[in-house]
C-alpha cells in the first residue's frame, strides 16, 4: 500500500480546510502556551494538532491528567509580594529617620517653659498712671493707680487712723465701698496702731488669723503666718481665701507705729487676679519713715469775730478751692469762707471733693428767716432745673449746728446739701454749702464739725445796727 504524505499546514490554510484529530479520544501531550499578561478568556474549541511526520500508531493513548499552573505565574506572584514588602520596609525606615531628625532639631532649641512674668514695680509705670500719697504724721508713703481713689478715717474719731486706696470695678454698686459690700474691686488699707506694750509681730498676726478663723465660713482657707520684709523692715504675713473676699494681711513695725496692712479683693476670674496684682504693687511701693516730723494737733479751731462764730476742723485747706455758693442772697468777700480736705491730695479741676463753704448775708433789709428760706429754696430749685434739666427730689429737716436749730435742704442744690440758720441775736443769715467726693464720704467728719460750732452771744440790749458790716 502506498503511503501518502499529509498536506502541510500551509496547504491546509490555503485550501481553507480544518484538520481533524486522527482519534477524538486521544489527547494531545503538548500544553498550549498562555501569555501571563493575557486576561482569562472563555473556553474556545481546541484546534487539532498538526499530524507528525512520523507514522501514527494504532495504539490508543491514555487520557492526560489535569494540567498544573504555569510556573512563571507563581514566580510573578511571589515577586509582587516581595516587592511590596521591601517597599513597606523602606518607607518605615525613611519615616523613622525623618522623625529622628525632627526630634534632634527640637532638642537643639532651648527648652520651652512657662514662667510667670515679673511683677512690675510702680516706678516702672508711666507717671500719668500712678499717684503718690504721703501721711507724714504717720510716716507712710505709697503709690496707687489713678483709677482708684483714697479714703481716710475721721480725724475726730478716737480710733486708730486708717488710710485706704479703693478701686471700683464695673459690677460694684454705687456709693461707699466697704469690706462687707465689696463685690468687684479692691481695698488697700493701712491701719496705724501704737504698740505701747511692744508686743511681738508674730503674736499680732496670729491673733488676727484667729479672728478670721472665727468669722469666716468653713470653706475659707487660711495660710500659716510667715516672715516677710516691707521696706527692709521685719514683717509677718498670712492670706485668707474664700472668706466673702480674699485677703492678704501684713503686720510691720517701725520704732513709732505698728502698721496693719490689709489687701482685700474680689471679682470674677481674671479680674480678681488683676486686683491682687494691683494691691501687691501698692504694697511694694510702701515706704515707712524711720524719723517722724514733730507731732501736730490734728484738729484746729477757726474763729470769726466779725460774724460771731467759731468751730473746729481737721486742718482743712482754706485757700485751694471754692465751694458753690447759694443762689439767693448777697455775700461780701469777707463773708465767704472755704474749707476743703486736701489731706489726700489737692482736688483736680472740675472733680468733686470733700469740703464746705460758709456764707453770711448781713440781711440789710431784715427779711424774716422764713421768708429768706422760701426765697432761697425757690432760687435753688430753678437753678437745679437749668443745670440738670430735670426736677429734683427735694426734702428738708431740722438739724443742730452747735446749739442752734437749722434747716437742712437735701436735693435742692445740684452740688450737695445746703444748711440755713439765723445767727443768734442778729438778723444775719448763715448758709453752709457742702460738697462730697462720694455720697456719704464726708458725712461723719462734717457732722462732727457742725457739732463743734459756737456762736458768740451779743451783749443784751445791743442792736443789729451797731454790728460791723
One fold for 122-288 and 300-457:
yes
pLDDT value at residue 245: 95
pLDDT per residue over 308-352, tens digit each? 999 999 999 999 999 999 999 999 999 999 999 999 888 888 889
Mean pLDDT over residues 269-294, rounded? 93
Single out the residue of 189, 79, 210 nearest to residue 144, CA to CA.
189
356 bridge partner residues:
339, 434
Mean pLDDT over residues 179-187, rounded? 95
Phi-psi region of 139 (alpha: psi -120 to 50; beta: other; left: phi over 0): left
Contacts of 286 (CB under 8 A, 6+ apart): 140, 141, 142, 190, 230, 231, 261
CB 69 within 8 A of CB 76: no
Mean pLDDT over residues 109-129, rounded? 51
Average pLDDT value for the chain: 82
pLDDT value at residue 58: 47
CB 208 within 8 A of CB 251: yes
pLDDT value at residue 56: 45
CA–CA separation, 64 vs 444, rounded Å? Answer: 128
Of the CATH numbers 3.30.1330.10, 3.40.1000.10, 1.10.150.80, 3.40.50.1980, which one belongs to the domain with range 300-457?
3.40.1000.10
- Residue 321, helix vs strand vs coil: coil
CA–CA separation, 210 vs 224, rounded Å? Answer: 11
Question: Against a cut of 0.75, is the pTM above it?
Answer: no
Distances (CA, A) of 396 to 68, 383, 408: 123, 17, 5
Between 72 and 233, the more confident residue is: 233
Highest mean pLDDT among 124-128, 329-333, 398-402: 398-402
Reported residue count of the chain is 469
pLDDT value at residue 71: 59
Give yes or no for residue 172 having a pLDDT over 60.
Answer: yes
Q: How confident is the model at residue 101 (pLDDT cuts 50, 70, 90)?
A: low
What CATH number should be reported for the domain whose range is 122-288?
3.40.1000.10
Contacts of 27 (CB under 8 A, 6+ apart): 61, 63, 64
Q: How confident is the model at residue 113 (pLDDT cuts 50, 70, 90)?
A: low
Give yes or no for residue 143 having a pLDDT over 70.
Answer: yes
The cell for 189 is 488699707
pLDDT value at residue 291: 85
Determine which helix (DSSP H) or strand (DSSP E) holds 461, and give its type and residue range. none
CB 404 within 8 A of CB 426: no
The cell for 214 is 472665727
CA–CA separation, 323 vs 147, rounded Å? Answer: 24
Q: How confident is the model at residue 27 (pLDDT cuts 50, 70, 90)?
A: very low
CB 357 within 8 A of CB 338: yes
CA–CA separation, 73 vs 75, rounded Å? Answer: 5
- The upper half-sphere exposure of residue 122, i.e. CA atoms within 13 Å in the direction of its Cβ, equals 22
Amino acid at each position: 500500500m502506498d503511503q501518502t504524505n499529509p498536506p502541510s499546514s500551509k496547504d491546509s490554510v490555503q485550501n481553507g480546510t480544518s484538520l481533524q484529530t486522527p482519534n477524538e479520544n486521544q489527547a494531545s501531550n503538548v500544553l498550549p502556551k498562555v501569555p501571563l499578561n493575557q486576561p482569562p478568556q472563555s473556553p474556545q474549541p481546541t484546534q487539532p494538532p498538526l499530524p507528525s511526520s512520523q507514522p501514527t500508531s494504532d495504539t490508543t493513548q491514555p487520557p492526560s491528567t489535569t494540567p498544573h499552573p504555569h510556573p512563571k505565574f507563581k514566580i510573578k506572584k511571589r515577586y509582587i509580594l516581595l516587592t511590596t514588602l521591601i517597599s513597606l520596609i523602606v518607607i518605615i525606615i525613611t519615616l523613622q529617620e525623618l522623625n529622628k531628625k525632627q526630634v534632634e532639631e527640637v532638642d537643639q532649641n532651648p527648652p520651652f517653659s512657662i514662667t510667670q512674668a515679673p511683677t512690675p514695680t510702680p516706678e516702672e509705670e508711666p507717671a500719668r498712671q500712678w499717684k503718690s500719697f504721703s501721711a507724714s504724721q504717720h510716716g507712710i508713703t505709697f503709690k496707687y493707680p489713678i483709677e482708684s481713689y483714697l479714703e481716710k478715717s475721721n480725724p475726730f474719731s478716737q480710733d486708730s487712723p486708717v488710710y485706704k486706696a479703693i478701686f471700683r470695678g464695673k459690677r460694684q454698686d454705687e456709693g461707699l465701698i466697704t469690706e462687707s459690700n465689696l463685690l468687684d474691686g479692691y481695698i488697700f488699707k493701712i491701719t496705724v496702731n501704737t504698740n505701747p506694750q511692744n508686743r511681738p509681730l508674730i503674736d499680732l498676726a496670729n491673733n488676727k488669723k484667729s479672728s478670721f478663723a472665727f468669722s469666716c465660713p468653713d470653706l475659707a482657707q487660711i495660710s500659716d503666718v510667715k516672715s516677710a520684709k516691707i521696706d527692709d523692715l521685719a514683717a509677718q504675713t498670712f492670706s485668707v481665701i474664700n472668706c466673702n473676699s480674699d485677703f492678704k494681711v501684713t503686720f510691720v513695725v517701725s520704732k513709732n507705729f505698728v502698721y496693719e496692712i490689709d489687701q482685700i479683693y474680689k471679682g470674677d476670674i481674671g479680674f480678681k487676679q488683676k486686683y491682687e496684682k494691683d494691691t501687691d504693687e501698692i504694697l511694694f511701693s510702701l515706704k515707712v519713715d524711720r524719723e517722724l516730723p514733730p507731732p501736730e494737733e490734728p484738729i484746729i479751731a477757726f474763729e470769726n469775730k466779725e460774724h460771731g462764730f467759731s468751730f473746729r476742723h481737721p486742718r482743712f485747706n482754706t485757700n485751694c478751692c471754692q465751694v458753690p455758693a447759694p443762689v439767693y442772697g448777697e455775700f461780701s468777700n469777707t463773708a465767704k469762707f472755704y474749707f476743703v480736705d486736701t489731706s489726700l491730695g489737692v482736688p483736680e479741676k472740675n472733680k468733686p471733693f470733700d469740703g464746705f463753704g460758709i456764707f453770711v448775708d448781713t440781711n440789710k433789709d431784715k427779711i424774716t428767716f422764713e421768708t429768706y428760706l422760701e426765697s432761697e429754696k425757690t432760687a435753688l430749685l430753678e437753678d437745679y432745673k437749668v443745670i440738670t434739666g430735670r426736677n429734683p427730689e427735694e426734702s428738708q429737716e431740722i438739724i443742730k449746728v452747735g446749739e442752734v436749730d437749722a434747716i437742712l435742704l437735701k436735693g435742692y442744690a445740684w452740688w450737695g446739701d445746703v444748711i440755713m440758720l439765723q445767727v443768734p441775736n442778729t438778723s444775719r443769715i448763715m448758709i453752709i454749702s457742702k460738697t462730697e467726693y462720694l455720697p456719704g464720704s464726708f458725712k461723719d467728719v462734717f457732722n462732727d464739725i457742725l457739732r463743734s460750732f459756737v456762736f458768740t452771744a451779743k451783749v443784751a440790749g445791743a442792736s443789729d445796727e451797731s454790728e460791723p458790716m
